[in-house]
Amino acid sequence: MKKKILILFKAPWHWNKFFINKLSKFYEVEYLYLDKIKKNYLDSISEINTFIEDKKIEIIFFDIDYQKLINIFFIKKIKNVKKVMFTWDDYERHNFNLITASSCDFVVTACPISALKYKEVGCSASFITLESDGSFYKDLKLKKDIDVLFFGKVNKDRKIFIDFINENGIKIKIVGNNEENRVTDEELVSLICRSKIVINFSKTTWGKIMNIPEKNVFQYQYQLKGRIVQSGLCGTACISEYAPHHRLLYKEDELLEFFNKKDCVKILKDLINNPEKLLKYSERFSQRTKNFYEEEKNFRQSYDFLNKIDQTKTDKKLKYLKRVPYWYLRICAKQILLKNIRISKIFNSAFHLKEVFLLTKKSNFLVKLLIMTESILNIVWFSSIRLFKAKGAGKNRYKDEYGSS
Protein backbone atom coordinates (compact mmCIF):
# COMPACT_ATOMS: atom_id res chain seq x y z
CA MET A 1 0.00 0.00 0.00
CA LYS A 2 1.29 3.46 -0.93
CA LYS A 3 2.04 5.92 1.85
CA LYS A 4 -0.13 9.03 2.04
CA ILE A 5 1.63 12.33 1.51
CA LEU A 6 0.63 15.99 1.46
CA ILE A 7 2.16 18.55 -0.90
CA LEU A 8 1.79 22.09 0.47
CA PHE A 9 2.03 24.33 -2.59
CA LYS A 10 2.28 28.11 -2.28
CA ALA A 11 -0.35 28.68 -4.99
CA PRO A 12 -1.89 27.14 -8.15
CA TRP A 13 0.80 27.08 -10.82
CA HIS A 14 1.42 25.29 -14.09
CA TRP A 15 4.30 23.07 -12.94
CA ASN A 16 2.38 21.70 -9.92
CA LYS A 17 0.89 18.94 -12.04
CA PHE A 18 4.34 17.62 -12.96
CA PHE A 19 5.30 17.24 -9.31
CA ILE A 20 1.94 15.69 -8.40
CA ASN A 21 2.27 13.16 -11.23
CA LYS A 22 5.87 12.38 -10.24
CA LEU A 23 5.03 11.66 -6.62
CA SER A 24 1.83 9.80 -7.54
CA LYS A 25 4.00 7.02 -8.94
CA PHE A 26 5.34 6.41 -5.44
CA TYR A 27 2.69 7.73 -3.05
CA GLU A 28 -1.00 8.44 -2.55
CA VAL A 29 -0.97 12.21 -3.01
CA GLU A 30 -3.04 14.96 -1.40
CA TYR A 31 -2.28 18.64 -1.87
CA LEU A 32 -3.21 22.06 -0.50
CA TYR A 33 -2.53 25.62 -1.67
CA LEU A 34 -1.30 27.94 1.06
CA ASP A 35 -2.71 30.97 -0.78
CA LYS A 36 -6.17 29.40 -0.67
CA ILE A 37 -6.16 29.16 3.13
CA LYS A 38 -7.64 32.56 3.99
CA LYS A 39 -6.73 32.50 7.64
CA ASN A 40 -4.14 34.00 9.92
CA TYR A 41 -0.82 32.38 10.76
CA LEU A 42 -1.87 30.10 13.64
CA ASP A 43 -5.25 29.20 12.16
CA SER A 44 -3.59 28.27 8.85
CA ILE A 45 -1.22 25.92 10.66
CA SER A 46 -4.13 24.45 12.62
CA GLU A 47 -6.05 23.74 9.39
CA ILE A 48 -3.02 22.02 7.87
CA ASN A 49 -2.50 19.90 10.99
CA THR A 50 -6.17 18.90 11.02
CA PHE A 51 -5.88 17.88 7.37
CA ILE A 52 -2.79 15.80 8.15
CA GLU A 53 -4.58 14.04 10.99
CA ASP A 54 -7.85 13.45 9.10
CA LYS A 55 -6.10 12.14 5.98
CA LYS A 56 -3.51 10.14 7.96
CA ILE A 57 -0.64 11.84 6.16
CA GLU A 58 2.81 10.33 6.71
CA ILE A 59 5.01 12.75 4.75
CA ILE A 60 4.58 16.43 3.92
CA PHE A 61 6.40 18.20 1.08
CA PHE A 62 6.84 21.98 1.49
CA ASP A 63 7.02 24.29 -1.55
CA ILE A 64 9.37 27.06 -0.46
CA ASP A 65 10.30 28.94 -3.65
CA TYR A 66 9.54 32.68 -3.79
CA GLN A 67 7.82 32.95 -0.43
CA LYS A 68 8.96 33.10 3.17
CA LEU A 69 5.96 32.09 5.29
CA ILE A 70 7.13 28.47 5.28
CA ASN A 71 10.17 28.84 7.49
CA ILE A 72 11.67 26.85 10.37
CA PHE A 73 9.12 28.18 12.88
CA PHE A 74 6.17 27.37 10.60
CA ILE A 75 7.49 23.88 9.86
CA LYS A 76 8.18 23.10 13.53
CA LYS A 77 4.49 23.69 14.29
CA ILE A 78 3.40 21.08 11.74
CA LYS A 79 2.53 17.67 13.20
CA ASN A 80 5.27 15.09 13.69
CA VAL A 81 5.38 13.59 10.21
CA LYS A 82 8.32 13.24 7.85
CA LYS A 83 9.06 16.66 6.42
CA VAL A 84 10.57 17.35 3.01
CA MET A 85 11.45 20.76 1.56
CA PHE A 86 11.50 21.07 -2.24
CA THR A 87 12.87 23.87 -4.38
CA TRP A 88 13.24 24.36 -8.14
CA ASP A 89 14.91 27.79 -8.05
CA ASP A 90 17.14 27.52 -5.01
CA TYR A 91 19.64 30.01 -6.44
CA GLU A 92 17.17 32.84 -5.71
CA ARG A 93 17.28 32.47 -1.93
CA HIS A 94 19.66 29.69 -0.97
CA ASN A 95 20.85 31.27 2.29
CA PHE A 96 17.26 31.60 3.52
CA ASN A 97 16.37 28.10 2.34
CA LEU A 98 19.44 26.63 4.02
CA ILE A 99 18.19 27.75 7.42
CA THR A 100 14.63 26.61 6.68
CA ALA A 101 15.92 23.19 5.66
CA SER A 102 17.25 22.62 9.17
CA SER A 103 13.69 21.89 10.31
CA CYS A 104 13.16 19.20 7.67
CA ASP A 105 14.23 15.59 7.32
CA PHE A 106 15.18 15.93 3.68
CA VAL A 107 15.56 18.40 0.82
CA VAL A 108 14.92 17.77 -2.86
CA THR A 109 16.18 20.32 -5.35
CA ALA A 110 16.32 20.65 -9.12
CA CYS A 111 19.91 21.87 -8.86
CA PRO A 112 22.72 19.32 -8.34
CA ILE A 113 25.03 22.04 -7.02
CA SER A 114 22.42 23.11 -4.46
CA ALA A 115 22.10 19.50 -3.31
CA LEU A 116 25.83 19.51 -2.58
CA LYS A 117 25.56 22.83 -0.75
CA TYR A 118 22.91 21.38 1.58
CA LYS A 119 25.02 18.30 2.19
CA GLU A 120 28.00 20.54 2.89
CA VAL A 121 26.43 21.67 6.18
CA GLY A 122 25.04 18.27 7.14
CA CYS A 123 21.57 18.44 5.60
CA SER A 124 20.30 15.36 3.74
CA ALA A 125 19.48 16.36 0.16
CA SER A 126 19.03 14.94 -3.31
CA PHE A 127 18.91 16.24 -6.86
CA ILE A 128 15.68 15.49 -8.75
CA THR A 129 14.35 16.53 -12.11
CA LEU A 130 10.91 18.15 -12.49
CA GLU A 131 9.52 17.90 -16.03
CA SER A 132 10.88 14.40 -16.63
CA ASP A 133 7.94 12.03 -17.05
CA GLY A 134 9.16 9.47 -19.58
CA SER A 135 5.60 8.45 -20.42
CA PHE A 136 4.84 12.05 -21.46
CA TYR A 137 8.17 13.36 -22.75
CA LYS A 138 8.92 10.61 -25.25
CA ASP A 139 10.04 10.13 -28.83
CA LEU A 140 6.96 10.34 -31.05
CA LYS A 141 9.00 9.28 -34.12
CA LEU A 142 7.99 12.38 -36.09
CA LYS A 143 9.70 13.79 -39.16
CA LYS A 144 12.52 16.17 -38.18
CA ASP A 145 11.38 19.22 -40.16
CA ILE A 146 12.60 21.88 -37.69
CA ASP A 147 16.34 22.62 -37.70
CA VAL A 148 16.61 24.36 -34.33
CA LEU A 149 14.02 24.92 -31.62
CA PHE A 150 14.08 27.19 -28.59
CA PHE A 151 11.22 27.23 -26.10
CA GLY A 152 11.13 29.78 -23.31
CA LYS A 153 11.38 33.51 -22.80
CA VAL A 154 13.62 35.60 -25.03
CA ASN A 155 15.41 38.17 -22.89
CA LYS A 156 18.02 40.65 -24.14
CA ASP A 157 20.95 38.25 -23.77
CA ARG A 158 19.16 35.39 -25.51
CA LYS A 159 18.03 37.68 -28.33
CA ILE A 160 21.69 38.42 -29.13
CA PHE A 161 22.31 34.70 -29.64
CA ILE A 162 19.09 34.14 -31.60
CA ASP A 163 19.70 37.11 -33.91
CA PHE A 164 23.23 35.86 -34.62
CA ILE A 165 21.90 32.37 -35.39
CA ASN A 166 19.41 33.86 -37.88
CA GLU A 167 22.09 36.07 -39.43
CA ASN A 168 24.16 32.96 -40.13
CA GLY A 169 21.39 31.34 -42.15
CA ILE A 170 20.20 28.84 -39.53
CA LYS A 171 16.45 28.55 -39.17
CA ILE A 172 15.32 28.67 -35.54
CA LYS A 173 11.76 28.30 -34.29
CA ILE A 174 10.79 30.15 -31.10
CA VAL A 175 7.82 29.24 -28.89
CA GLY A 176 6.81 30.16 -25.36
CA ASN A 177 8.17 33.70 -25.44
CA ASN A 178 4.84 35.46 -24.95
CA GLU A 179 1.09 34.90 -24.89
CA GLU A 180 0.87 34.90 -28.68
CA ASN A 181 3.26 32.00 -29.28
CA ARG A 182 2.65 29.86 -26.24
CA VAL A 183 1.89 26.20 -26.78
CA THR A 184 0.36 23.42 -24.71
CA ASP A 185 2.56 20.79 -23.11
CA GLU A 186 1.38 18.26 -25.68
CA GLU A 187 2.20 20.63 -28.54
CA LEU A 188 5.62 21.26 -27.03
CA VAL A 189 6.45 17.55 -26.97
CA SER A 190 5.47 17.33 -30.63
CA LEU A 191 7.68 20.31 -31.51
CA ILE A 192 10.67 18.85 -29.65
CA CYS A 193 10.24 15.55 -31.49
CA ARG A 194 10.06 17.39 -34.83
CA SER A 195 13.30 19.26 -34.11
CA LYS A 196 16.82 18.22 -35.06
CA ILE A 197 18.32 20.29 -32.23
CA VAL A 198 16.97 22.08 -29.17
CA ILE A 199 19.06 25.01 -27.99
CA ASN A 200 19.29 25.81 -24.28
CA PHE A 201 20.34 29.03 -22.59
CA SER A 202 21.57 28.88 -18.99
CA LYS A 203 21.89 32.45 -17.80
CA THR A 204 19.18 33.40 -15.32
CA THR A 205 18.47 36.86 -13.98
CA TRP A 206 17.11 37.70 -10.57
CA GLY A 207 13.49 38.73 -10.62
CA LYS A 208 11.17 40.89 -8.57
CA ILE A 209 12.08 39.49 -5.19
CA MET A 210 13.28 41.58 -2.25
CA ASN A 211 16.04 40.67 0.17
CA ILE A 212 18.33 39.05 -2.41
CA PRO A 213 21.68 40.85 -2.15
CA GLU A 214 23.07 39.02 -5.18
CA LYS A 215 20.60 40.71 -7.54
CA ASN A 216 22.29 44.05 -6.85
CA VAL A 217 25.79 42.67 -7.37
CA PHE A 218 25.77 40.15 -10.22
CA GLN A 219 24.21 40.51 -13.66
CA TYR A 220 23.15 36.87 -13.92
CA GLN A 221 23.71 33.36 -12.67
CA TYR A 222 24.08 30.10 -14.59
CA GLN A 223 21.26 27.66 -13.83
CA LEU A 224 20.46 24.10 -14.86
CA LYS A 225 17.40 24.25 -17.12
CA GLY A 226 14.68 21.66 -17.69
CA ARG A 227 14.92 21.99 -21.48
CA ILE A 228 17.90 19.63 -21.44
CA VAL A 229 16.11 16.67 -19.87
CA GLN A 230 12.88 17.32 -21.78
CA SER A 231 14.79 17.17 -25.07
CA GLY A 232 16.72 14.04 -24.18
CA LEU A 233 13.59 12.13 -23.17
CA CYS A 234 12.07 13.03 -26.54
CA GLY A 235 15.12 11.67 -28.37
CA THR A 236 16.18 15.08 -29.65
CA ALA A 237 19.70 16.53 -29.48
CA CYS A 238 20.27 19.51 -27.24
CA ILE A 239 23.20 21.92 -27.18
CA SER A 240 23.51 24.24 -24.22
CA GLU A 241 25.09 27.43 -23.06
CA TYR A 242 27.68 26.66 -20.39
CA ALA A 243 26.57 25.98 -16.82
CA PRO A 244 28.74 24.36 -14.12
CA HIS A 245 26.00 21.82 -13.34
CA HIS A 246 26.30 20.08 -16.69
CA ARG A 247 29.52 18.18 -15.99
CA LEU A 248 27.96 16.72 -12.86
CA LEU A 249 25.32 15.11 -15.08
CA TYR A 250 26.81 14.61 -18.55
CA LYS A 251 30.20 13.90 -20.10
CA GLU A 252 31.61 16.38 -22.63
CA ASP A 253 30.52 14.28 -25.62
CA GLU A 254 27.05 13.70 -24.13
CA LEU A 255 26.07 17.37 -23.86
CA LEU A 256 27.80 19.92 -26.09
CA GLU A 257 28.28 23.40 -24.62
CA PHE A 258 28.93 26.86 -26.05
CA PHE A 259 30.32 29.94 -24.28
CA ASN A 260 29.48 32.63 -26.83
CA LYS A 261 27.41 33.21 -29.96
CA LYS A 262 30.22 32.17 -32.32
CA ASP A 263 30.71 28.85 -30.51
CA CYS A 264 26.96 28.32 -30.66
CA VAL A 265 26.69 28.81 -34.43
CA LYS A 266 29.79 26.68 -35.04
CA ILE A 267 28.30 23.71 -33.16
CA LEU A 268 24.89 24.11 -34.82
CA LYS A 269 26.36 24.21 -38.34
CA ASP A 270 28.59 21.22 -37.64
CA LEU A 271 25.68 19.07 -36.48
CA ILE A 272 23.14 20.21 -39.08
CA ASN A 273 25.61 19.70 -41.95
CA ASN A 274 26.62 16.25 -40.70
CA PRO A 275 23.45 14.16 -40.27
CA GLU A 276 25.34 11.03 -39.19
CA LYS A 277 27.27 12.95 -36.54
CA LEU A 278 24.02 14.54 -35.34
CA LEU A 279 22.35 11.13 -35.11
CA LYS A 280 25.17 9.61 -33.03
CA TYR A 281 25.26 12.63 -30.75
CA SER A 282 21.48 12.55 -30.31
CA GLU A 283 21.63 8.88 -29.34
CA ARG A 284 24.41 9.41 -26.75
CA PHE A 285 22.67 12.40 -25.21
CA SER A 286 19.24 10.80 -25.19
CA GLN A 287 20.47 7.50 -23.77
CA ARG A 288 22.21 9.23 -20.88
CA THR A 289 19.10 11.29 -20.12
CA LYS A 290 16.72 8.33 -20.17
CA ASN A 291 19.00 6.12 -18.08
CA PHE A 292 19.63 8.60 -15.28
CA TYR A 293 17.16 11.50 -15.31
CA GLU A 294 13.79 10.02 -16.21
CA GLU A 295 11.69 10.67 -13.12
CA GLU A 296 11.02 7.13 -11.87
CA LYS A 297 14.74 6.31 -11.92
CA ASN A 298 15.76 9.75 -10.73
CA PHE A 299 13.40 9.94 -7.72
CA ARG A 300 14.06 6.38 -6.54
CA GLN A 301 17.05 7.43 -4.41
CA SER A 302 14.96 10.04 -2.58
CA TYR A 303 12.10 7.58 -2.12
CA ASP A 304 14.37 4.93 -0.63
CA PHE A 305 15.96 7.45 1.74
CA LEU A 306 12.58 8.69 3.01
CA ASN A 307 11.48 5.13 3.69
CA LYS A 308 14.45 4.67 6.01
CA ILE A 309 13.85 7.82 8.05
CA ASP A 310 12.35 7.35 11.50
CA GLN A 311 10.38 10.55 12.08
CA THR A 312 10.32 9.91 15.82
CA LYS A 313 14.05 10.65 15.97
CA THR A 314 13.66 14.40 15.76
CA ASP A 315 16.97 15.08 17.51
CA LYS A 316 18.68 15.01 14.12
CA LYS A 317 16.73 18.03 12.94
CA LEU A 318 18.33 21.43 13.50
CA LYS A 319 21.58 19.73 14.52
CA TYR A 320 23.69 21.74 12.08
CA LEU A 321 22.11 25.10 12.92
CA LYS A 322 24.11 27.01 15.53
CA ARG A 323 21.70 29.91 15.79
CA VAL A 324 18.98 31.70 13.82
CA PRO A 325 20.39 35.01 12.52
CA TYR A 326 18.74 38.35 13.09
CA TRP A 327 17.88 38.93 9.42
CA TYR A 328 16.05 35.59 9.26
CA LEU A 329 14.10 36.37 12.44
CA ARG A 330 13.00 39.72 10.98
CA ILE A 331 11.62 38.05 7.87
CA CYS A 332 9.81 35.33 9.85
CA ALA A 333 8.28 37.83 12.27
CA LYS A 334 6.91 39.86 9.38
CA GLN A 335 5.39 36.79 7.71
CA ILE A 336 3.57 35.74 10.89
CA LEU A 337 1.86 39.12 11.08
CA LEU A 338 1.10 39.57 7.37
CA LYS A 339 -0.78 36.29 6.85
CA ASN A 340 -4.30 37.45 5.96
CA ILE A 341 -3.80 40.79 7.67
CA ARG A 342 -6.69 43.28 7.50
CA ILE A 343 -7.47 46.54 9.28
CA SER A 344 -10.61 44.87 10.62
CA LYS A 345 -8.43 42.17 12.16
CA ILE A 346 -5.76 44.43 13.62
CA PHE A 347 -6.33 43.13 17.17
CA ASN A 348 -6.04 39.59 15.90
CA SER A 349 -2.70 40.50 14.35
CA ALA A 350 -1.64 42.09 17.61
CA PHE A 351 -2.40 38.78 19.32
CA HIS A 352 0.24 37.18 17.08
CA LEU A 353 2.89 39.37 18.65
CA LYS A 354 3.14 36.59 21.20
CA GLU A 355 4.31 34.27 18.40
CA VAL A 356 6.81 36.87 17.29
CA PHE A 357 8.17 37.13 20.81
CA LEU A 358 8.60 33.34 20.94
CA LEU A 359 10.82 33.54 17.86
CA THR A 360 13.25 35.72 19.77
CA LYS A 361 13.32 33.83 23.07
CA LYS A 362 16.95 32.77 22.52
CA SER A 363 18.02 36.19 21.28
CA ASN A 364 19.57 39.02 23.26
CA PHE A 365 17.59 42.00 24.54
CA LEU A 366 18.53 44.29 21.65
CA VAL A 367 17.32 41.80 19.02
CA LYS A 368 14.08 41.32 20.96
CA LEU A 369 13.53 45.07 21.15
CA LEU A 370 14.26 45.69 17.47
CA ILE A 371 12.03 42.90 16.20
CA MET A 372 9.10 43.66 18.51
CA THR A 373 9.24 47.36 17.64
CA GLU A 374 9.38 46.66 13.92
CA SER A 375 6.52 44.15 14.26
CA ILE A 376 4.21 46.71 15.88
CA LEU A 377 4.98 49.17 13.10
CA ASN A 378 4.35 46.45 10.48
CA ILE A 379 0.90 45.71 11.91
CA VAL A 380 -0.17 49.35 11.67
CA TRP A 381 1.44 49.98 8.28
CA PHE A 382 0.31 46.87 6.40
CA SER A 383 -3.19 46.87 7.90
CA SER A 384 -3.59 50.39 6.53
CA ILE A 385 -2.14 49.51 3.14
CA ARG A 386 -4.55 46.59 2.69
CA LEU A 387 -7.42 49.07 2.87
CA PHE A 388 -6.38 50.42 -0.51
CA LYS A 389 -4.49 47.56 -2.15
CA ALA A 390 -5.56 43.94 -2.01
CA LYS A 391 -2.89 41.26 -2.20
CA GLY A 392 -3.12 39.16 -5.36
CA ALA A 393 -3.54 35.90 -3.50
CA GLY A 394 -4.53 32.84 -5.44
CA LYS A 395 -3.38 34.20 -8.80
CA ASN A 396 -0.32 32.91 -10.61
CA ARG A 397 1.69 35.88 -9.46
CA TYR A 398 4.78 33.67 -9.57
CA LYS A 399 4.31 33.25 -13.30
CA ASP A 400 6.69 35.06 -15.62
CA GLU A 401 7.88 37.45 -12.92
CA TYR A 402 10.99 35.82 -11.55
CA GLY A 403 13.82 35.83 -14.03
CA SER A 404 14.05 33.66 -17.12
CA SER A 405 13.14 30.04 -17.65
Residue whose C-alpha is closest to residue 299's, from 4, 22, 3, 10: 22
Terminal alpha carbon distance of the chain: 37
What is the full per-residue pLDDT of the chain (405 aa) written as tens digits? 899 999 999 999 889 999 999 999 999 999 999 999 988 899 999 999 999 999 999 999 999 998 789 999 999 999 889 999 999 999 878 999 999 999 999 999 999 999 999 999 999 999 999 999 999 999 999 999 999 999 999 999 999 999 999 999 999 999 987 878 889 999 999 999 999 999 999 998 765 555 555 566 778 889 999 999 999 999 999 999 999 999 999 999 999 999 999 999 999 999 999 999 999 999 999 999 999 999 999 999 899 999 988 755 544 555 678 889 999 999 999 988 887 665 555 566 667 888 899 989 889 999 999 999 999 898 888 877 766 665 443 333 323 333 345
Backbone angles phi, psi at 396, to 5 degrees: -80, 65
Contact between 231 and 237 under an 8 Å Cβ cutoff? The reply is: yes
Instruction: Tell me the C-alpha distance between 127 and 148, whole Å.
Output: 29
Helix axes 156-167, 261-272, angle to 10 degrees: 40
**Which are the contacts of 25, defined by CB distance < 8 A and separation ≥ 6?**
295, 296, 299
Q: Which amino acid is at 43?
A: D
pLDDT of 214 reads: 58
- Whether the model clears a pTM of 0.85, i.e. scores above it, the answer is yes
pLDDT of 207 reads: 59
User: What would the pLDDT profile of 257-272 be if each residue is shown by its tens digit?
Assistant: 999 999 999 999 999 9
Could you give all domains of the chain from N- to C-terminal order, each with its CATH number?
Answer: 4-131+297-313 (3.40.50.2000), 146-293 (3.40.50.2000), 326-388 (no CATH)
